[in-house]
Amino acid sequence: MLFENFSLVRKMLTRSYMIVAVLLLTTLACSKDKDPEPPVVVPNDDPAQYGVPFAGVSDPADVVLYQVNIRAFSSQGNFAGVTARLDSIKSLGANTLYLMPIYPIGVERGINSPYCISDYKAVNTEFGNLTDLRNLIEQAHNRGMAVLLDWVANHTSWDHVWMKNSTWYARDNSGNMFSPNGWNDVVQLNFSNADMRKEMIKAMKFWVLTANADGFRCDYADGPPVDFWKQAIDTLRNMSNRKLLLLAEGTRSQHFSIGFDFNFGFRFYDQMKRVYQQNQPASSLYALNSSEYSLAGADQWVVRYLTNHDVNSSDGTPLDLFGGKKGSLAAFVVAAYMKGVPMIYSGQEVGTPFRITFPFTGQNINWTLNPDLVAEHKKIIGLRNQHEALRKGSLTTFSHTKAVVFTKSLASETLLVVSNLKNSEAVVPLDASLTGFTWKDAFTGEDVGTLSTLTIEPYGYRVFVVQL
């Protein structure tokens, strides 16, 4: 997303092809008419597949996502700087990387935003070249990690290579091209133009084939029309021998019905802030969680985050927003375990004490900070990776003002999670359905016996497990 507009509120305020129509499916639930769906795009000049498609892409429920801000990630600020730290990301427990945009940046009206793209099929030389990108992705694959690229579909820079195709851009009532949402460094694309849409989808396929990418995080997914994303997703899913992960940075429930694996947890983040900063009850997260899954399928998930490149720059760090080191860990437990896919932003695990501000060129992360915080993140993520019930189990919630209290159950295993989101002690009487079992501490394996009432320290958390 463009960084001069950080919050969700501000986010929301041709060459010829061979086109093959396959399977005209039923009309989208969100469509108001009966027009056939756009056909899958099958260009006749796709590049050859580079390398071997990665066979280790995680199922959506098993993903632990790590967002890489390439500029701030290392002193080099390039692909090589990321490649050098892949072992550290892997040791954290993450299995999927998402790289912020890797494409050349526009100069005309530009503000050096990585989300102002001037060429969808080129590499920003600031980060290296195609060989360097391929090496990063290959090295991640060698460590069992998938790599998603950031895709900015709604708009381009004012000096994008597509500018020669004037009909590919939307016009206002005066016939002029315009910037969406006041983002003056970019220009709105015209999604009524079939040729533009085909070229966009072809460019997405280009990176899957040319760099062996494993999917996309789709920026401002609420901007382009739903039927465009349906066409793009159908095309990408039609690629042979590929398992791709597709994340919509958006809130529309229709993103699930058209095939995205993930929606972005804007509302979860906002509500978590209200719990910490406006003294709203911890249990207020439950209804929000249910609403975000209203149209989700069996293996479709909401990405839960406490920070990302936008809100870190605009709102503050997790330490600022969620009660310092202890408070942010209590919030991360909920993000990782309640229902969703956790995302860690570059430097979150070391407790970076300053905002990484746009355009991310002035500050580098100090990876030697807070080894105790790194160890806690590893412990929390490790437990999630160890227990399928935490990732895929059925959720049962229990109301409490201070603490988020829930169980996750799958087959014969049940885990009880209690995380105190307040800076004062929480006394948690357990529901009768949870008493009478002999629990173990999920982290240590120690027998703790039967439980009836728990006393949780300020910003503390406990996780218990029982085999039934």
| Residue 264: inside a domain | yes
Q: Are strands 439-441 and 413-420 parallel, antiparallel or unpaired?
A: unpaired
Q: Name beta bridge partners: 117.
A: 105
| Residue 35: inside a domain | no
- Within this chain, do residues 459 and 327 fall inside the same structural domain, yes or no? no
| Residue 28: inside a domain | no
| Residue 22: inside a domain | no
Count of domains observed in the chain:
2
The confidence score (pLDDT) of residue 21 equals 33
Q: How far apart are CA 372 and CA 329, in angstroms?
A: 11
Whether the pTM exceeds 0.75: the reply is yes
| Residue 38: inside a domain | no
- Within this chain, do residues 117 and 139 fall inside the same structural domain, yes or no? yes
In degrees and rounded to multiples of 5, residue 247 shows phi and psi of: -115, 125
Phi/psi class of residue 32: alpha, beta or left (left: φ > 0; alpha: ψ in -120 to 50)?
A: alpha
Owner of token pair 């600031």: 126
Q: Name beta bridge partners: 462.
A: 418
CA dihedral of 268, 273, 276, 280, whole degrees rounded to 10: -70
- Within this chain, do residues 336 and 423 fall inside the same structural domain, yes or no? no
Say how many CA atoms lie within 13 Å of 270 toward its Cβ. 12
Helix axes 266-277, 284-292, angle to 10 degrees: 170
- Within this chain, do residues 431 and 368 fall inside the same structural domain, yes or no? no
Q: Name beta bridge partners: 102.
A: none
Check which CATH number belongs to the domain holding 441 and give it.
2.60.40.1180
Q: pLDDT 10s per residue in the chain (468 long)?
A: 433 343 333 343 333 333 333 333 333 334 444 456 677 776 668 899 999 999 999 999 999 999 999 999 999 999 999 999 999 999 999 999 999 999 999 999 999 999 999 999 999 999 999 999 999 999 999 999 999 999 999 999 999 999 999 999 999 999 999 999 999 999 999 999 999 999 999 999 999 999 999 999 999 999 999 999 999 999 999 998 899 999 999 988 899 999 999 999 999 999 999 999 999 999 999 999 999 998 899 999 999 999 999 999 999 999 999 999 999 999 999 999 999 999 999 999 999 999 999 999 988 999 999 999 999 999 999 999 999 999 999 999 999 999 999 999 999 999 999 999 999 999 999 999 999 899 999 999 999 999 999 999 999 999 999 998
Q: How far apart are CA 369 and CA 375, in angstroms?
A: 12
Number of H helices, E strands in the chain: 15, 18
| Residue 54: inside a domain | yes
Check which CATH number belongs to the domain holding 67 and give it.
3.20.20.80
> What six digits make up the tokens of 409?
């159950």
- Within this chain, do residues 253 and 294 fall inside the same structural domain, yes or no? yes
Domain boundary among 369, 386, 403: 386
Instruction: Please report the DSSP string for 144-188 in residue order.
Output: T-EEEEEEE-SEEETT-GGGG-GGGB---TTS----GGG-TTEEE
Residues 6+ apart with CB under 8 A from 389: 408, 409, 410, 411, 413, 414, 415
Owner of token pair 């899957």: 208
- Within this chain, do residues 365 and 453 fall inside the same structural domain, yes or no? no
- Within this chain, do residues 425 and 351 fall inside the same structural domain, yes or no? no
- Cα–Cα–Cα angle for 126, 129, 133, rounded to 5 degrees: 105
The confidence score (pLDDT) of residue 36 equals 60
- Within this chain, do residues 455 and 373 fall inside the same structural domain, yes or no? no
Q: Are strands 341-345 and 413-420 parallel, antiparallel or unpaired?
A: unpaired
> What six digits make up the tokens of 416?
């009880």
- Within this chain, do residues 242 and 317 fall inside the same structural domain, yes or no? yes
**Range of 326's domain?**
8-13+50-386
Say how many CA atoms lie within 13 Å of 281 toward its Cβ. 10
Q: How far apart are CA 67 and CA 360, in angstroms?
A: 14
- Within this chain, do residues 370 and 290 fall inside the same structural domain, yes or no? yes
| Residue 45: inside a domain | no
Q: How far apart are CA 279 and CA 421, in angstroms?
A: 10
- Within this chain, do residues 410 and 431 fall inside the same structural domain, yes or no? yes
The confidence score (pLDDT) of residue 253 equals 85
Instruction: Please report the DSSP string for 357-416 in residue order.
Output: -TT--S----TTS-HHHHHHHHHHHHHHHH-HHHHHSEEEEE--SSEEEEEEEETTEEEE
Q: How far apart are CA 270 and CA 324, in angstroms?
A: 17
Q: How far is CA 117 from CA 57, 184, 246, 302, in A?
A: 27, 13, 20, 27
- Within this chain, do residues 236 and 366 fall inside the same structural domain, yes or no? yes
| Residue 417: inside a domain | yes
Q: Indicate the SS3 state at residue 57.
A: coil
Query: Do residues 337 and 289 touch, judged by C-beta distance below 8 A?
Result: no
Query: Do residues 165 and 196 touch, judged by C-beta distance below 8 A?
Result: yes
